[in-house]
Amino acid sequence: MAGAVLSSLRLMRAGIVLAQHGVRFWPQGMRVPFALHLARVVTLPISLITWPFRIGKPRNRRISDALASLGPSYIKLGQFLATRADVIGSDLANDLSFLQDKMPPFSMGEARQAVEEALHGKLEDHYIAFGPPVAAASIAQVHKARTRHRQTGAETDVAVKILRPGIERRFKADLDSYYFAASMAERFHVPSRRLKPVAVVDNLKRTTDLEMDLRLEAAAISEMADNIADDDGFRVPTVDWQRTSKRVLTLEWIDGIPVSDKERLLAAGHDLDQLGLTILRTFLRHAMRDGFFHADMHQGNLFIDKDGNVVAVDFGIMGRLSHIERKFLAEILHGLITRDFRRAAAIHFEAGYVPPHHTIETFAQAMRAIGEPIHGRTAEEISMADLLGQLFAYTELFDMETRPELILLQKSMVIVEGVARSLNPNLNMWTAAEPVAREWVEQNLGVGGQLRNAGAGAADLGRALADVPRLALKAQTTMSAIEEIASNGVKLNDKAVQNFAHAQAKTGRWGRAALWVAAAALVVIAYASLMG
């Protein structure tokens, strides 16, 4: 009860701030719970006195400004919801794209204390120079520092990312209120149930939990470095594992030109058209070939080094795709590009994304409605936002459950396309994507891919065959035990009873049920053996 009250108060405050910015925060058609409606009515006069309305702001900037004023966890919520146009609609998702993850920095004293607690010892034991923050976001801030190699004495510039003090506690409190709001939405707004708002908050919690352990971000950078070891044109910073912990991450400092600074890029002699193509194809290659991609590749996270490589930073948000999902993505992309809409529709059914009471032919018609507009048109005429909005509309029409990993990928593709087109306005995403999709299809679905799959299957079979002697011995032991029960009857000595009781006490209700079922099954087997 106390938790519900506290959550209501937190949501009340958020509602007041949203109302001040002219944002409607209840889904259209939702029946507002009486208690919250009353709270809104009671607190509105207070808000008018204490917090005047912000006027004169464009409508599409209101919600991003409101969430930014609410603090770190709401900024992260807005960023996350921007990837879920299937939940909030394409218009609101587009408005949230204006949300900037910027916060006032915390003090140098707090930064020093955080480093010394995380890495132990004095700050000077780890860094020979440590500058003021160069960037501050909702979860962490970044300092430029310098290290000295213990053996060689070589000095290196590094970026030090430090979590905000107390950020975990703040996020936990706000997440409790998000869960409360999501459960209310599921209860009072029937159309929301298909979108699973509680599951959306679950996903947000998992995402923020990962972001608040900087060792996991370091591991993501290391994993991507392994994946791209043989690739040209793209790289990631080197991790300093000796100066990295849960709350502090030390990386190579990137001296590069921001991808947004086209004048400096041109002055340095870089080919902007080629850079745009590299960014787009690199992202697609990571998604389809590796199943592991940077899910926040906006302009602020991309730099061009002196060798012309694209360097990505900030690996807090990563996406993963299984082999099945990569197959789905490649065939969809290939089907849209080659206008094989029936095949693009069929793999939706093969993957189980579309319920079987719909027909492939009808869904192929919907895929054609999405795909045809991209053919025979210039790049400037194709709106990925419109295409995604149409796709999300069809997910509801065809009773498709949301796929968070694919939604994240699609949102990331829109961001990457925007960055690539800022460098090369004539870049056509579909034409650029075709070689990557074709390569994946040929390598994984062609003859070579089938042979590799067959080899993998043979290896699995070999492991299974190698395990046969152990399984046979286990079966023989089991049969000996059953024969002994059949000969002597079912006997439980005191020790066996104690062990069973101990096992039962350690389990939950369903675990205890499973133990009793197992015991009953043993008795049945024994008496079946006796009767046989």
Catalytic residues: 296
pLDDT at 332: 72
Rounded Cα–Cα distance for residues 243 and 112 (Å): 14
Rounded Cα–Cα distance for residues 179 and 184 (Å): 9
pLDDT over 70 percentage in the chain: 65
Has residue 205 got a pLDDT over 70? yes
Residues in the chain: 532
pLDDT: which is higher, 287 or 371: 287
**Token representation of residue 136:** 């501050």
pLDDT at 530: 38
Would you tell me how many other CB atoms lie within 10 Å of the CB of residue 359? 12
Centroid of chain to Cα 153: 40
- Quickly state the pLDDT bin for 498 (edges 50, 70, 90): low
pLDDT over 90 percentage in the chain: 28
Instruction: Render pLDDT for 250-289 as a digit per residue (tens, 0 to 9).
Output: 999 999 999 999 999 999 999 999 999 999 999 989 998 9
Strand-pair category, 292-294 with 318-320: antiparallel
Identity of the highest mean pLDDT range in 54-58, 146-150, 471-475, 486-490: 146-150
Contacts of 72 (CB under 8 A, 6+ apart): 103, 138, 139, 164, 167, 170, 171
Identity of the highest mean pLDDT range in 79-83, 481-485, 522-526: 79-83
Reduce the DSSP state of residue 257 to 3 states and report it.
Answer: strand
Instruction: Render pLDDT for 480-497 as a digit per residue (tens, 0 to 9).
Output: 554 554 455 444 445 544
Rounded Cα–Cα distance for residues 384 and 430 (Å): 10
Average pLDDT on 118-127 reads: 96
Give the closest residue to 211 by CA, choosing from 200, 203, 230, 69.
Answer: 203
Centroid of chain to Cα 448: 32
Q: What is the pTM of this model?
A: 0.70
Give the closest residue to 362 by CA, choosing from 333, 329, 400.
Answer: 400
Has residue 508 got a pLDDT over 70? no
DSSP bridge pairs for 20: none
Average pLDDT, the chain: 75
Identity of the highest mean pLDDT range in 47-51, 333-337, 381-385, 464-468: 333-337
Rounded Cα–Cα distance for residues 346 and 366 (Å): 12
3-state SS, one letter per residue, for 469-529: HHHHHHHHHHHHHHHHHHHHCCCCCHHHHHHHHHHHHHCCHHHHHHHHHHHHHHHHHHHHH
Identity of the highest mean pLDDT range in 12-21, 52-61, 116-125, 520-529: 116-125
- Residue 227: which H helix or E strand, with range? helix 214-227
Q: Which of 96-105, 366-375, 487-496 has the lowest mean pLDDT?
A: 487-496
Domain residue ranges in the chain: 2-102+171-209, 257-466, 477-531
- C-beta separation of 231 from 311 below 8 A: no
CA distances from 93 to 177, 191, 361, 499 (A): 21, 18, 31, 56
CA distances from 153 to 125, 148, 158, 422 (A): 14, 5, 15, 42
Say how many CA atoms lie within 13 Å of 102 toward its Cβ.
9
